[in-house]
């Protein structure tokens, strides 16, 4: 979909720092959506007519079918909110520079969260940190905070190393105007990335420094602890003396680089480096730590004492910055004189650099990241998705927006620098207290202030609360991707991640901030619908399951559940199926996907829908009965070699015995048996044409489910590698599917 200028920026009197363009072709989409809606109504009319004429099958089957279809329809309507009004943004960084250069630019605090050095390797984490430190922005106005929920001395060691390497890396980035500020990514692909490349000698030098550092870190990582020799070099390691486990330790806080320590905080050219802080908040087994949300709130408090920038960038430890300009891009929105003061946060897309060509696990999240977020932007309400997001500290801290709110970013203030005489040790002691695990008791933290607790998608919950308090948000997808992260690379990881998301989304629907209920009158209707659309992921599992089981089973009994081909009622069904498929395919391809990628994505929509979402629903329900909360399962960012090989070859990775797979395999087999059953019927039966005519839609649905499940059949029966489905699972699911089919068939008589 292309774009053209809208007129809502007026006549440019105020020389806005950004512009908003409506998607081209949106009118065509709306006409299509209306026509699809009409077709859906006809489907309902058909079902209604069935009651009147007394046609149809057993009452329960029929009721289930109607319920599923009603839900599909309603859910589709909710989804339209974020497709109705797509907009795209554009920034004018030149204007920003002309108006606010250097002394007037605000400070920015940047938060990186990590939680486990085994699956989030320290070298990856510090690449993220370095990429943020190297923004094309006055370095002394930047502060980077690393929160380490594992309190790992390895990660700390890596960060110390990074602070030394930064002294060479930042000047190198500035000298050669690198657009790519992550060293790992730069050395991987350096030729493409700058207009004024360094000469061979300079390049070799910096590369050697990086590789030496990498080797030192990896040596320690292999050792599993910090060697005595390295430990003796840095007194800071004494903070680990009282450490007993990840879940039981004091606050460990170290200001590694700070202007107040001029000797060690300047780069090789004599310029100040960004402030750099390591934080492992206090953890005790008897205190909830609230996962990443808790980490973020500790960071918010600690940073408020150390640098207290008015803008806060949050990234996951795997999301390195891929563009040196993102801070300035974000400022074009937040500092816009006319509209900036209303904007609570600027969200950039999450992009992934480990996705293979046809994206077998649908990790690009194309419809979410590229379409629905832009749709949400049309209503000034893109969601906060946890990473790659610039927040206004006021909004994130829980302040309500009011019409009189003054954009304090516009006041020039270079004030804090020399005014207060700070002693770094005092600063550390003071901020440590803010990261204690009892600090939040009887406060509004996590309820009204900071990142909000109570959902496994604390990010969406927090963004929602910011919207509920009257702030707007912006989605900005720059031509050069702003951030790259690591997407799940096995089916199980992807499904577990989606289970966490779906569970968290449903928690939001059921929370006191529920967009569907509490949101009424507080956020606009489209946002209410769009948020609810995401919140209801888990619920969609029921209708998806119903549709992928019941119609196929009825094939075995030869009972049609849909109109036959010669009936006029066939038309609306066909229109909905063809229309929606073509629309999805077009959308996918127009936004940069491939046809095979679309097919893979469709498979993942089905897999997520029938397994992740189902378990998310079950877990939510069992919580109502007092069972414990699900934990935040951190996604692995590394792969074993054979897994990686299969990933490159686009072979689906199972390899484990998980209930998620049992559900998928059973469904796949059930549909296979049903299809075989009807094929047999067609071959030996007398009236094959009549059967086809009568059962066409059911055969089509079942055939589609079989085709899309081919990787599962291969994983169950044909593959020999370690990534196949375990035989125990094959036996379990075959027995389940076969007995269901047999029982269902026998009950016919």
Ligand X SMILES: O=c1ccn([C@@H]2O[C@H](COP(=O)(O)OP(=O)(O)O[C@H]3O[C@H](CO)[C@@H](O)[C@H](O)[C@H]3O)[C@@H](O)[C@H]2O)c(=O)[nH]1
* Active-site residue (options: 250, 329, 359, 459): 459
Contact 161, 106 (CB under 8 A): no
Q: Per CB under 6 A, does 384 bind ligand X?
A: no
- Dihedral angle over CA of 559, 565, 710, 79, nearest 10: -100
- The option from ligand X, Mn ion, none interacting with 500 (CB < 5 to 8 A, set by class) reads ligand X
Q: Which stretch binds ligand X (CB under 6 A): 18-26, 228-236, 365-373, 499-507?
A: 499-507
* Token pair for 684: 């030996």
- Taking the complex as a whole, how short is the minimal distance between the CB of residue 485 and ligand X, in angstroms? 7
* Active-site residue (options: 136, 148, 149, 318): 149
Query: How many residues touch ligand X (CB under 6 A)?
Result: 23
- Give 109's strand partners: 143, 312
* Token pair for 366: 């194309």
Query: Quick one: three-class SS letters along 88-133?
Result: EEEECHHHHHHHHCHHHCCCEEEEEEECCCCCCCHHHHHHHHHHHH
Q: Return the axis-axis angle of helices 424-433 and 291-306, rounded to nearest 10°.
A: 150
Residue closer to ligand X by CB (options 486, 526) is 486
- The option from ligand X, Mn ion, none interacting with 173 (CB < 5 to 8 A, set by class) reads none
Q: Per CB under 6 A, does 504 bind ligand X?
A: yes
Q: Per CB under 6 A, does 456 bind ligand X?
A: yes
Give the whole-angstrom CA distance, residue 264 versus residue 275. Answer: 11
Q: Per CB under 6 A, does 279 bind ligand X?
A: no
Q: Per CB under 6 A, does 505 bind ligand X?
A: no
Give catalytic status of residue 459 as yes or no.
Answer: yes
- Give 266's strand partners: 272
Q: Per CB under 6 A, does 110 bind ligand X?
A: no
- Taking the complex as a whole, how short is the minimal distance between the CB of residue 391 and ligand X, in angstroms? 13
Residue numbers 11-70 binding ligand X by CB under 6 A: none
Mode of pairing for the β-strands spanning 389-392 and 483-485:
unpaired
Task: Out of 68, 96, 110, 113, point to the residue binding ligand X (CB under 6 A).
Answer: 113
* Spatial CA neighbour of 183 closest among 126, 138, 145: 126
Q: Which stretch binds ligand X (CB under 6 A): 301-309, 500-508, 588-596, 665-673?
A: 500-508
Q: Per CB under 6 A, does 503 bind ligand X?
A: no
Q: Can you tell me whether residue 385 is helix, strand or coil?
A: coil
Q: Per CB under 6 A, does 619 bind ligand X?
A: no
Residue closer to Mn ion by CB (options 149, 316) is 316
Residue numbers 628-667 binding Mn ion by CB under 5 A: 635
Q: Per CB under 6 A, does 126 bind ligand X?
A: no
Residue numbers 303-322 binding Mn ion by CB under 5 A: 316
Contact 379, 83 (CB under 8 A): no
530's CB contacts (< 8 A; 6+ apart) are 78, 79, 81, 82, 372, 375, 376, 379, 381
- Taking the complex as a whole, how short is the minimal distance between the CB of residue 235 and ligand X, in angstroms? 27
- Dihedral angle over CA of 659, 665, 666, 670, nearest 10: 170
- Taking the complex as a whole, how short is the minimal distance between the CB of residue 567 and ligand X, in angstroms? 46
- Taking the complex as a whole, how short is the minimal distance between the CB of residue 283 and ligand X, in angstroms? 10
What backbone phi and psi angles, to 5 degrees, belong to 102?
40, -90
What backbone phi and psi angles, to 5 degrees, belong to 352?
-130, 135
Residue numbers 306-365 binding ligand X by CB under 6 A: 316-317
* Nearest-5° Cα angle at 323, 318 to 328: 115
- Taking the complex as a whole, how short is the minimal distance between the CB of residue 318 and Mn ion, in angstroms? 5
Give the whole-angstrom CA distance, residue 362 versus residue 541. Answer: 18
- Taking the complex as a whole, how short is the minimal distance between the CB of residue 203 and ligand X, in angstroms? 31
Residue closer to ligand X by CB (options 114, 612) is 114
Give catalytic status of residue 318 as yes or no.
Answer: no
Residue closer to ligand X by CB (options 173, 461) is 461
711's CB contacts (< 8 A; 6+ apart) are 603, 652
- Taking the complex as a whole, how short is the minimal distance between the CB of residue 37 and ligand X, in angstroms? 32
Residue closer to ligand X by CB (options 190, 499) is 499
Q: Give me the residues that bind ligand X (CB under 6 A), please.
A: 113-115, 120, 147, 149, 291-292, 295, 316-317, 386-387, 456-457, 459, 497, 500-501, 504, 632, 634-635
Q: Give me the residues that bind Mn ion (CB under 5 A), please.
A: 316, 635
Q: What residues are annotated to the active site?
A: 149, 459
């Amino acid at each position: 979909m292309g774009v053209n200028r809208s007129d809502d920026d007026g006549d440019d009197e105020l020389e806005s720092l950004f512009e908003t363009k409506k998607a081209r072709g949106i009118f065509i989409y709306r006409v299509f959506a209306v026509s699809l809606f009409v077709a859906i109504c006809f489907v309902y009319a058909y079902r209604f007519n069935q009651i009147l004429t007394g046609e149809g099958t057993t009452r329960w089957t029929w009721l289930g079918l109607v319920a599923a279809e009603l839900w599909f329809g309603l859910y589709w309507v909710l989804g339209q909110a974020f497709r109705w009004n797509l907009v795209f943004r554009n920034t004018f960084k030149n204007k920003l520079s002309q108006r606010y250069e250097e002394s007037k630019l605000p400070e920015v605090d940047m938060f990186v969260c990590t939680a486990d050095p085994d699956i989030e390797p320290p070298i990856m984490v510090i690449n993220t940190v370095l990429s943020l430190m190297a923004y094309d922005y006055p370095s002394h106005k930047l502060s980077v905070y690393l929160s380490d929920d594992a309190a790992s001395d390895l990660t700390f060691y890596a960060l110390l190393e990074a602070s030394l390497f930064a002294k060479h890396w930042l000047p190198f980035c500035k000298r050669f105007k690198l657009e790519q500020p992550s060293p790992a990514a730069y050395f991987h692909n350096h030729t493409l990335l700058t207009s004024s490349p360094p000469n061979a000698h300079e390049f070799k030098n910096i590369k050697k420094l990086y590789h030496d550092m990498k080797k030192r870190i990896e040596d320690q990582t292999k050792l599993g602890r910090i060697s005595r020799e390295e430990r003796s070099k840095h007194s800071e390691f004494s903070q680990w003396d009282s450490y007993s486990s990840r879940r039981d330790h004091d606050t460990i806080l170290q200001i590694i680089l700070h202007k107040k320590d001029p000797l060690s905080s300047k780069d090789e050219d004599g310029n100040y480096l960004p402030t750099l802080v390591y934080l492992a908040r206090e953890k005790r087994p008897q205190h909830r730590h609230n996962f990443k949300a808790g980490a973020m709130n500790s960071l918010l408090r600690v940073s408020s004492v150390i640098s207290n920038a008015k803008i806060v960038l949050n990234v996951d430890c795997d999301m390195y910055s891929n563009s040196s300009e993102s801070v300035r891009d974000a400022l074009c929105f937040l500092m816009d004189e006319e509209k900036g003061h209303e904007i609570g946060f600027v969200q950039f897309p999450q992009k992934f650099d480990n996705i293979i060509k046809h994206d077998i696990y649908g990790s690009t999240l194309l419809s979410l990241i590229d379409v629905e977020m832009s749709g949400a932007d049309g209503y000034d309400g893109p969601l906060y998705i946890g990473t790659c997001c610039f927040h206004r500290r006021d909004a994130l801290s829980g302040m309500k927006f009011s019409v009189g709110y003054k954009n304090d970013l516009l006041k020039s203030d270079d004030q804090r620098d020399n005014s207060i005489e700070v002693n770094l040790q005092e600063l550390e002691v003071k901020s440590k207290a803010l990261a204690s695990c009892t600090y939040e008791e009887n406060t509004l933290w996590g309820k009204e202030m900071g990142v909000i607790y109570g959902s496994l998608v604390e990010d969406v919950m927090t963004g929602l609360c910011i919207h509920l308090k009257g702030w707007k948000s912006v989605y900005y997808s720059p031509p050069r991707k702003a951030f790259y992260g690591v997407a799940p690379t096995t089916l199980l990881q992807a499904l577990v991640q989606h289970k966490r998301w779906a569970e968290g989304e449903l928690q939001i629907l059921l929370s006191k901030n529920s967009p569907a209920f509490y949101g009424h009158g507080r956020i606009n209707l489209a946002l209410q619908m769009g948020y609810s659309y995401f919140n209801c992921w888990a619920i969609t599992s029921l209708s998806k399951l119903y549709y992928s089981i019941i119609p196929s089973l009825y094939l075995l009994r030869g009972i049609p559940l849909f109109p036959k081909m010669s009936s006029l009622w066939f038309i609306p069904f066909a229109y909905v199926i063809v229309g929606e498929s073509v629309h999805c395919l077009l959308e996918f391809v127009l936004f940069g996907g491939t046809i095979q990628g679309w097919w893979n994505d469709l498979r993942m929509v089905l897999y997520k829908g029938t397994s992740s979402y189902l378990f998310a629903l079950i877990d939510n329900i069992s919580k109502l009965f007092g069972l414990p909360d699900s934990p935040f399962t951190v996604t692995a960012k590394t792969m074993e070699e054979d897994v990686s090989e299969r990933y490159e070859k686009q072979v689906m990775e199972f390899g484990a015995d998980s209930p998620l797979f049992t559900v998928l395999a059973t469904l796949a087999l059930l549909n296979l048996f049903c299809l075989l059953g009807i094929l047999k019927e067609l071959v030996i039966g007398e009236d094959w044409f009549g059967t086809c005519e009568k059962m066409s839609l059911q055969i089509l649905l079942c055939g589609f489910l079989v085709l899309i499940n081919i990787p599962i059949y291969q994983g169950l029966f044909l593959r020999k590698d370690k990534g196949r489905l375990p035989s125990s699972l094959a036996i379990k699911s075959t027995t389940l599917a076969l007995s269901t089919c047999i029982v269902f068939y026998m009950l016919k008589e």
